[in-house]
Structure 1
């Protein structure tokens, strides 16, 4: 199973991810987020908080 798929299914824990072109949308009373891509970064959650 691909790494991103595992992450989205909740099978990967404590991963730091980056989204490409993340945007917020609101349409007919619904809202959400869209991104053109997602990357798993090779840093720990603690390292990410210190960036």
Structure 2
């Protein structure tokens, strides 16, 4: 019985690992604070350019 139990536990662990790799994280990739600030500055710059173009 011990041999059967050990084989089943190994098989179960293997299945858990395969499922964990298959189901990747659903949360978004981490973006640093500096990167977020840079992106926000670029967006604000683009918005200001768009308003200048539409005013002319």
TM over 0.5: no
Q: Could you say which structure has the higher strand fraction?
A: 1
Question: Given the two structures, how large is their TM-score scaled by the length of structure 1?
Answer: 0.19
For CA contacts below 8 A with separation 6 or more, give which structure has more relative contact order: 1
Q: Could you say which structure has the higher helix fraction?
A: 2
